[in-house]
Amino acid sequence: MLIGEVVGSVVATQKDPQLESHKLLVVQVRSHENQPRDQYVIAVDSVGAGPGDLVLYATGSSARQTNITKDKPCDAVVMAIVDSWDVSGKNVYEKWSGA
């Protein structure tokens, strides 16, 4: 999985019927040092993530291993909302600090 920030959402009126009623999130990839990368992915939401959330997303056929994306034309799914992470024991990101 990769870490990313939800920076927006995509509205698509004309799309494959199987994708109807799914929230499509624009996710910008973050490095493990929490630096934004110039890499974006459009992912189906499975956990109720929203703008500003740091999330984990899975890609490829793994993305279809949820009840809402099974057998659907989906290749990226947000499967967790990140609370915090450490690199070598040092905290890099903490969702609830400085809120």
Does 63 engage in binding with other proteins (CB under 8 A)? yes
Does 41 engage in binding with other proteins (CB under 8 A)? no
Size of the site for other proteins (CB under 8 A): 35
Please state the closest distance from residue 20 (CB atom) to other proteins, in A. 20
Per the CB < 8 A criterion, the answer to whether 55 and 49 are in contact is yes
Beta strand 84-87 with 24-30: parallel, antiparallel or unpaired? Answer: unpaired
The CB density around residue 67, as the number of other CB atoms within 10 Å, is: 6
- Per CB under 8 A, residues contacting other proteins are 1-3, 31-33, 46-49, 56, 58-66, 69, 77, 79-90, 92
